[in-house]
Amino acid sequence: MIRVKCVENNAELKKFMDFPQQLYEGETFFVPAAQAIEQQLLTPPEALGQMRLYLALVGKEVCGRMALFFPAAGVGTEAVIYRLDFIDDTKVSAALIESACQEASQRGYASLCGPRGALELEPQGAMALGQMHDGSAFALQQPEYFLQHLEGLGFTKIFTQKEYRVALPDALCSRETRYAEFLLRRQGVRLLPLESGEQLSAWVEPLFKLIASQLARAQGRLLPEALVRARLEESWLRYADLRFIHLYVDRAGALAGATIALPDMAAALRAVEGRHRPWNKRKFEAFRREVRSLELLLSIFRPEYVGTGLRDAMLINLVQDAVRQGMKFITTGPLLPCQEERAAGLTFKNGVIYSVRHTLRRSV
Protein backbone atom coordinates (compact mmCIF):
# COMPACT_ATOMS: atom_id res chain seq x y z
CA MET A 1 0.00 0.00 0.00
CA ILE A 2 1.28 3.45 -0.96
CA ARG A 3 1.29 6.04 1.81
CA VAL A 4 1.96 9.76 1.27
CA LYS A 5 3.09 11.72 4.30
CA CYS A 6 4.51 15.16 5.08
CA VAL A 7 8.17 15.47 5.97
CA GLU A 8 8.22 16.12 9.71
CA ASN A 9 11.77 15.57 10.95
CA ASN A 10 15.41 15.61 9.90
CA ALA A 11 15.48 11.88 9.15
CA GLU A 12 12.59 12.27 6.71
CA LEU A 13 14.18 15.40 5.24
CA LYS A 14 17.33 13.40 4.55
CA LYS A 15 15.26 10.77 2.76
CA PHE A 16 13.61 13.53 0.72
CA MET A 17 16.97 15.03 -0.27
CA ASP A 18 18.61 11.68 -1.04
CA PHE A 19 15.80 10.16 -3.10
CA PRO A 20 16.81 11.62 -6.51
CA GLN A 21 20.32 10.29 -6.05
CA GLN A 22 18.91 6.82 -5.41
CA LEU A 23 16.33 7.01 -8.18
CA TYR A 24 18.54 8.36 -10.96
CA GLU A 25 21.97 7.02 -10.03
CA GLY A 26 23.76 5.88 -13.16
CA GLU A 27 21.48 7.85 -15.50
CA THR A 28 23.33 10.10 -17.93
CA PHE A 29 20.87 12.96 -17.47
CA PHE A 30 21.24 13.15 -13.69
CA VAL A 31 23.30 15.82 -11.96
CA PRO A 32 23.36 15.69 -8.15
CA ALA A 33 22.00 18.75 -6.39
CA ALA A 34 24.10 20.94 -4.14
CA GLN A 35 22.12 20.06 -1.05
CA ALA A 36 22.76 23.19 0.99
CA ILE A 37 21.39 25.37 -1.82
CA GLU A 38 18.50 23.00 -2.36
CA GLN A 39 17.53 23.22 1.30
CA GLN A 40 17.55 27.01 1.09
CA LEU A 41 15.21 26.90 -1.89
CA LEU A 42 12.90 24.50 -0.06
CA THR A 43 12.53 26.95 2.86
CA PRO A 44 11.36 30.21 1.24
CA PRO A 45 10.65 33.34 3.30
CA GLU A 46 7.19 33.28 4.88
CA ALA A 47 6.23 36.38 2.94
CA LEU A 48 6.55 34.39 -0.29
CA GLY A 49 4.40 31.50 0.82
CA GLN A 50 4.70 28.05 2.35
CA MET A 51 6.56 25.01 1.08
CA ARG A 52 5.36 21.52 2.09
CA LEU A 53 7.46 18.41 1.48
CA TYR A 54 5.99 14.93 0.98
CA LEU A 55 7.28 11.38 0.73
CA ALA A 56 5.52 8.47 -0.96
CA LEU A 57 6.27 5.26 0.93
CA VAL A 58 5.67 1.56 0.45
CA GLY A 59 6.34 0.27 3.93
CA LYS A 60 9.54 2.11 4.86
CA GLU A 61 10.81 2.32 1.29
CA VAL A 62 10.68 5.74 -0.43
CA CYS A 63 9.18 5.49 -3.92
CA GLY A 64 8.44 9.16 -4.61
CA ARG A 65 8.78 12.70 -3.30
CA MET A 66 7.05 16.03 -3.89
CA ALA A 67 7.53 19.65 -2.83
CA LEU A 68 4.42 21.84 -3.03
CA PHE A 69 4.61 25.60 -2.86
CA PHE A 70 1.55 27.51 -1.70
CA PRO A 71 2.14 31.16 -2.65
CA ALA A 72 0.99 33.98 -0.44
CA ALA A 73 -1.62 36.48 -1.63
CA GLY A 74 -0.09 38.72 -4.29
CA VAL A 75 2.65 36.21 -5.14
CA GLY A 76 0.60 33.60 -7.00
CA THR A 77 -2.90 32.26 -7.50
CA GLU A 78 -2.33 28.53 -7.92
CA ALA A 79 -0.51 25.83 -6.00
CA VAL A 80 2.88 24.97 -7.50
CA ILE A 81 4.61 21.59 -7.83
CA TYR A 82 8.15 22.67 -7.05
CA ARG A 83 9.87 19.27 -6.96
CA LEU A 84 8.44 15.95 -8.11
CA ASP A 85 10.21 12.60 -8.53
CA PHE A 86 8.76 9.09 -8.53
CA ILE A 87 9.45 5.57 -9.71
CA ASP A 88 7.82 4.34 -12.92
CA ASP A 89 4.62 3.23 -11.23
CA THR A 90 1.34 5.01 -12.00
CA LYS A 91 0.00 4.17 -8.55
CA VAL A 92 2.83 6.16 -6.95
CA SER A 93 2.43 9.22 -9.18
CA ALA A 94 -1.36 9.09 -8.73
CA ALA A 95 -1.01 8.97 -4.93
CA LEU A 96 1.30 11.99 -4.91
CA ILE A 97 -0.90 14.07 -7.22
CA GLU A 98 -4.06 13.12 -5.33
CA SER A 99 -2.46 14.33 -2.10
CA ALA A 100 -1.38 17.53 -3.83
CA CYS A 101 -4.89 18.22 -5.13
CA GLN A 102 -6.47 17.58 -1.73
CA GLU A 103 -4.06 19.91 0.03
CA ALA A 104 -4.43 22.62 -2.62
CA SER A 105 -8.23 22.40 -2.54
CA GLN A 106 -8.31 22.65 1.26
CA ARG A 107 -6.18 25.80 1.05
CA GLY A 108 -8.51 27.40 -1.48
CA TYR A 109 -6.49 26.99 -4.68
CA ALA A 110 -8.41 26.01 -7.81
CA SER A 111 -5.52 24.61 -9.84
CA LEU A 112 -2.18 22.90 -9.61
CA CYS A 113 0.71 23.95 -11.84
CA GLY A 114 4.18 22.62 -12.42
CA PRO A 115 6.80 21.47 -12.19
CA ARG A 116 8.10 25.03 -12.05
CA GLY A 117 9.82 27.59 -9.90
CA ALA A 118 8.12 29.39 -7.06
CA LEU A 119 8.33 32.67 -9.00
CA GLU A 120 7.81 33.28 -12.71
CA LEU A 121 11.43 34.37 -13.14
CA GLU A 122 12.71 30.92 -12.19
CA PRO A 123 13.23 28.16 -14.77
CA GLN A 124 9.93 26.57 -15.67
CA GLY A 125 8.78 23.11 -16.49
CA ALA A 126 9.55 19.42 -16.63
CA MET A 127 12.65 18.75 -18.69
CA ALA A 128 11.87 16.81 -21.84
CA LEU A 129 15.26 17.43 -23.48
CA GLY A 130 18.68 18.46 -22.24
CA GLN A 131 19.81 19.64 -18.85
CA MET A 132 18.21 22.28 -16.65
CA HIS A 133 20.52 25.10 -15.64
CA ASP A 134 19.39 27.41 -12.90
CA GLY A 135 20.89 29.33 -10.05
CA SER A 136 19.92 26.66 -7.59
CA ALA A 137 22.60 24.35 -9.00
CA PHE A 138 19.95 21.67 -9.42
CA ALA A 139 19.96 20.07 -12.84
CA LEU A 140 17.71 17.24 -13.87
CA GLN A 141 16.05 15.99 -17.01
CA GLN A 142 12.99 13.96 -16.12
CA PRO A 143 12.79 10.40 -17.50
CA GLU A 144 10.45 9.63 -20.39
CA TYR A 145 7.71 8.26 -18.19
CA PHE A 146 7.42 11.49 -16.19
CA LEU A 147 5.29 13.50 -18.62
CA GLN A 148 3.32 10.40 -19.58
CA HIS A 149 2.25 9.90 -15.96
CA LEU A 150 1.24 13.54 -15.49
CA GLU A 151 -0.75 13.71 -18.73
CA GLY A 152 -2.48 10.49 -17.75
CA LEU A 153 -3.48 12.18 -14.49
CA GLY A 154 -5.24 15.06 -16.25
CA PHE A 155 -2.42 17.57 -16.66
CA THR A 156 -2.20 19.57 -19.88
CA LYS A 157 0.80 21.48 -21.23
CA ILE A 158 0.37 25.23 -20.89
CA PHE A 159 3.87 26.52 -21.53
CA THR A 160 7.02 25.36 -23.30
CA GLN A 161 10.36 27.05 -22.68
CA LYS A 162 13.44 26.47 -24.82
CA GLU A 163 17.06 27.07 -23.93
CA TYR A 164 19.78 27.47 -26.52
CA ARG A 165 23.46 26.68 -26.46
CA VAL A 166 25.69 28.90 -28.55
CA ALA A 167 29.37 28.42 -29.40
CA LEU A 168 31.39 31.54 -28.62
CA PRO A 169 33.88 32.98 -31.08
CA ASP A 170 37.57 32.55 -30.31
CA ALA A 171 37.92 36.33 -30.14
CA LEU A 172 35.91 39.46 -30.76
CA CYS A 173 36.99 41.71 -33.59
CA SER A 174 37.80 45.31 -32.74
CA ARG A 175 34.83 46.53 -34.81
CA GLU A 176 32.37 44.81 -32.47
CA THR A 177 34.13 46.18 -29.41
CA ARG A 178 34.12 49.72 -30.82
CA TYR A 179 30.43 49.32 -31.67
CA ALA A 180 29.62 48.48 -28.04
CA GLU A 181 31.65 51.43 -26.81
CA PHE A 182 29.83 53.73 -29.24
CA LEU A 183 26.40 52.52 -28.09
CA LEU A 184 27.26 53.12 -24.44
CA ARG A 185 28.68 56.61 -25.12
CA ARG A 186 25.62 57.57 -27.15
CA GLN A 187 23.32 56.69 -24.24
CA GLY A 188 25.59 58.16 -21.57
CA VAL A 189 25.89 54.76 -19.91
CA ARG A 190 29.03 53.13 -18.53
CA LEU A 191 29.96 49.70 -17.21
CA LEU A 192 30.58 49.76 -13.48
CA PRO A 193 33.65 47.72 -12.44
CA LEU A 194 32.89 45.25 -9.63
CA GLU A 195 35.81 44.23 -7.48
CA SER A 196 34.20 42.80 -4.33
CA GLY A 197 31.04 41.28 -2.96
CA GLU A 198 30.67 44.29 -0.68
CA GLN A 199 30.57 46.55 -3.71
CA LEU A 200 27.91 44.36 -5.31
CA SER A 201 25.79 44.36 -2.15
CA ALA A 202 25.45 48.14 -2.40
CA TRP A 203 23.62 47.65 -5.72
CA VAL A 204 21.31 44.86 -4.62
CA GLU A 205 18.41 47.16 -3.77
CA PRO A 206 18.29 49.07 -7.10
CA LEU A 207 18.87 45.82 -8.99
CA PHE A 208 15.83 44.17 -7.45
CA LYS A 209 13.72 47.28 -7.89
CA LEU A 210 14.51 47.10 -11.59
CA ILE A 211 13.74 43.37 -11.78
CA ALA A 212 10.46 43.78 -9.88
CA SER A 213 9.32 46.61 -12.15
CA GLN A 214 10.15 44.57 -15.26
CA LEU A 215 8.18 41.63 -13.91
CA ALA A 216 5.24 43.90 -13.21
CA ARG A 217 5.22 45.12 -16.82
CA ALA A 218 5.62 41.63 -18.22
CA GLN A 219 2.96 40.00 -16.04
CA GLY A 220 0.54 42.85 -15.49
CA ARG A 221 0.80 42.54 -11.72
CA LEU A 222 3.21 43.73 -9.08
CA LEU A 223 5.40 41.37 -7.10
CA PRO A 224 6.68 43.03 -3.92
CA GLU A 225 10.33 43.97 -4.36
CA ALA A 226 11.25 42.38 -1.04
CA LEU A 227 9.94 39.01 -2.24
CA VAL A 228 11.85 39.13 -5.50
CA ARG A 229 14.97 40.14 -3.62
CA ALA A 230 14.66 37.37 -1.03
CA ARG A 231 14.25 34.72 -3.71
CA LEU A 232 17.04 35.81 -6.00
CA GLU A 233 19.52 36.49 -3.23
CA GLU A 234 19.25 32.83 -2.23
CA SER A 235 19.65 31.32 -5.66
CA TRP A 236 21.73 33.80 -7.68
CA LEU A 237 23.73 36.38 -5.79
CA ARG A 238 24.72 34.12 -2.90
CA TYR A 239 27.03 32.26 -5.29
CA ALA A 240 27.67 35.11 -7.70
CA ASP A 241 30.76 35.24 -9.88
CA LEU A 242 31.83 38.87 -10.18
CA ARG A 243 33.55 38.17 -13.49
CA PHE A 244 30.17 37.81 -15.15
CA ILE A 245 27.97 40.34 -13.35
CA HIS A 246 27.79 43.58 -15.30
CA LEU A 247 26.05 46.61 -13.88
CA TYR A 248 25.51 49.71 -16.03
CA VAL A 249 24.92 53.20 -14.65
CA ASP A 250 23.73 56.41 -16.31
CA ARG A 251 25.26 59.88 -16.06
CA ALA A 252 23.51 60.44 -12.74
CA GLY A 253 24.94 57.24 -11.29
CA ALA A 254 21.60 55.39 -11.29
CA LEU A 255 21.31 51.77 -12.40
CA ALA A 256 20.45 51.59 -16.10
CA GLY A 257 20.74 47.85 -16.72
CA ALA A 258 22.44 44.61 -15.78
CA THR A 259 23.51 41.24 -17.12
CA ILE A 260 24.02 38.31 -14.75
CA ALA A 261 25.69 35.08 -15.80
CA LEU A 262 27.22 32.16 -13.95
CA PRO A 263 29.66 29.44 -14.94
CA ASP A 264 27.66 26.30 -15.65
CA MET A 265 27.00 24.98 -12.15
CA ALA A 266 25.49 21.76 -13.43
CA ALA A 267 28.69 20.93 -15.28
CA ALA A 268 30.71 21.60 -12.15
CA LEU A 269 28.43 19.39 -10.08
CA ARG A 270 28.77 16.62 -12.61
CA ALA A 271 32.56 16.98 -12.40
CA VAL A 272 32.59 16.43 -8.64
CA GLU A 273 30.04 13.60 -8.99
CA GLY A 274 28.40 14.49 -5.72
CA ARG A 275 31.56 13.76 -3.74
CA HIS A 276 31.58 17.03 -1.81
CA ARG A 277 28.62 16.77 0.50
CA PRO A 278 27.54 18.57 2.52
CA TRP A 279 28.02 21.65 0.40
CA ASN A 280 31.60 22.96 0.29
CA LYS A 281 31.65 26.26 -1.53
CA ARG A 282 35.43 26.54 -1.68
CA LYS A 283 35.89 23.16 -3.37
CA PHE A 284 32.96 23.77 -5.67
CA GLU A 285 34.37 27.14 -6.77
CA ALA A 286 37.63 25.43 -7.68
CA PHE A 287 35.76 23.07 -10.00
CA ARG A 288 33.52 25.81 -11.35
CA ARG A 289 36.48 27.88 -12.49
CA GLU A 290 37.47 25.01 -14.75
CA VAL A 291 34.08 25.02 -16.47
CA ARG A 292 34.02 26.39 -20.01
CA SER A 293 30.29 26.98 -20.39
CA LEU A 294 28.45 30.07 -19.15
CA GLU A 295 24.78 30.40 -18.19
CA LEU A 296 23.16 33.72 -19.06
CA LEU A 297 20.55 34.19 -16.34
CA LEU A 298 19.41 37.76 -16.81
CA SER A 299 19.66 40.68 -19.21
CA ILE A 300 17.60 43.64 -18.08
CA PHE A 301 17.50 47.43 -18.50
CA ARG A 302 15.20 50.38 -17.88
CA PRO A 303 12.34 50.77 -20.40
CA GLU A 304 13.61 54.07 -21.82
CA TYR A 305 16.56 52.18 -23.30
CA VAL A 306 14.42 49.86 -25.42
CA GLY A 307 15.47 50.14 -29.06
CA THR A 308 18.60 52.19 -28.30
CA GLY A 309 21.11 49.39 -28.81
CA LEU A 310 21.98 49.17 -25.11
CA ARG A 311 21.02 45.49 -25.06
CA ASP A 312 23.49 44.78 -27.87
CA ALA A 313 26.27 46.60 -26.05
CA MET A 314 25.58 44.71 -22.82
CA LEU A 315 25.71 41.33 -24.53
CA ILE A 316 28.84 42.18 -26.51
CA ASN A 317 30.60 43.10 -23.25
CA LEU A 318 29.44 39.87 -21.61
CA VAL A 319 30.64 37.75 -24.51
CA GLN A 320 33.94 39.66 -24.52
CA ASP A 321 34.56 38.84 -20.86
CA ALA A 322 33.45 35.24 -21.39
CA VAL A 323 35.96 34.81 -24.22
CA ARG A 324 38.71 36.39 -22.11
CA GLN A 325 37.98 33.90 -19.33
CA GLY A 326 38.23 30.95 -21.71
CA MET A 327 34.52 30.20 -22.03
CA LYS A 328 33.52 28.21 -25.11
CA PHE A 329 29.70 28.23 -24.87
CA ILE A 330 26.80 30.29 -23.57
CA THR A 331 23.53 28.63 -22.67
CA THR A 332 20.53 30.89 -22.61
CA GLY A 333 16.77 30.99 -22.82
CA PRO A 334 14.86 33.69 -24.70
CA LEU A 335 17.36 36.38 -23.66
CA LEU A 336 19.31 35.91 -26.90
CA PRO A 337 17.71 35.24 -30.30
CA CYS A 338 20.02 32.29 -30.84
CA GLN A 339 17.78 30.72 -33.44
CA GLU A 340 19.20 33.33 -35.79
CA GLU A 341 22.76 33.43 -37.01
CA ARG A 342 23.29 36.94 -35.71
CA ALA A 343 22.56 38.18 -32.23
CA ALA A 344 23.69 41.33 -30.46
CA GLY A 345 26.05 42.24 -33.31
CA LEU A 346 27.89 38.92 -33.00
CA THR A 347 27.96 35.96 -35.34
CA PHE A 348 27.32 32.78 -33.34
CA LYS A 349 28.00 29.32 -34.73
CA ASN A 350 26.25 26.08 -33.86
CA GLY A 351 23.32 27.61 -31.99
CA VAL A 352 21.25 24.58 -30.99
CA ILE A 353 18.27 23.84 -28.81
CA TYR A 354 19.84 22.79 -25.54
CA SER A 355 16.80 22.05 -23.45
CA VAL A 356 13.01 22.00 -23.66
CA ARG A 357 10.81 22.37 -20.57
CA HIS A 358 7.07 21.84 -20.30
CA THR A 359 4.90 23.38 -17.61
CA LEU A 360 1.59 21.61 -16.97
CA ARG A 361 -1.64 22.41 -15.17
CA ARG A 362 -4.76 20.65 -13.90
CA SER A 363 -7.71 21.67 -11.79
CA VAL A 364 -8.00 20.33 -8.26
Write the CATH number for 276. Answer: 3.40.630.30
Residue 362 lies in a domain: no
In this structure, the answer to whether residues 149 and 279 fall within a common structural domain is no
Question: pLDDT per residue over 222-252, tens digit each?
Answer: 555 555 565 566 555 666 678 888 999 999 9
Mean pLDDT of the chain: 77
When pLDDT is cut at 50, 70 and 90, the band that residue 342 belongs to is very low
Question: pLDDT per residue over 311-321, tens digit each?
Answer: 889 988 998 89
In this structure, the answer to whether residues 177 and 122 fall within a common structural domain is no
Do 295 and 143 form a contact (C-beta atoms < 8 A)? no
In this structure, the answer to whether residues 203 and 103 fall within a common structural domain is no
pLDDT > 70: percent of the chain: 68
Question: pLDDT per residue over 143-184, tens digit each?
Answer: 778 889 999 999 998 877 777 777 788 887 788 889 999 999
Question: pLDDT per residue over 107-148, tens digit each?
Answer: 999 999 888 765 554 555 554 444 443 333 344 557 778 889
Q: How far apart are CA 114 and CA 358, in angstroms?
A: 8
In this structure, the answer to whether residues 156 and 14 fall within a common structural domain is yes
When pLDDT is cut at 50, 70 and 90, the band that residue 36 belongs to is low
The boundaries of the domain holding residue 40 are 2-162
- Measure the CA angle with vertex 111, ends 113 and 142; round to 5°: 25
Q: Where are the alpha helices (DSSP H) in the chain?
A: 10-24, 35-41, 90-106, 144-152, 174-187, 197-201, 204-219, 225-235, 265-272, 281-288, 310-324
Q: How far apart are CA 205 and CA 201, in angstroms?
A: 8
Residue 361 lies in a domain: no
Residue 339 lies in a domain: yes
pLDDT at 280 over 60: no
In this structure, the answer to whether residues 96 and 120 fall within a common structural domain is yes
Residue 360 lies in a domain: no
In this structure, the answer to whether residues 153 and 181 fall within a common structural domain is no
Q: How far apart are CA 156 and CA 165, in angstroms?
A: 27
In this structure, the answer to whether residues 24 and 48 fall within a common structural domain is yes
User: What's the number of domains the chain is made of?
Assistant: 2
In this structure, the answer to whether residues 24 and 104 fall within a common structural domain is yes
Last residue of a domain, one of 144, 162, 180: 162
Task: DSSP for 312-352, please give it.
Answer: HHHHHHHHHHHHHTT--EEEESTTS-TTSSEETTEE-EEEE
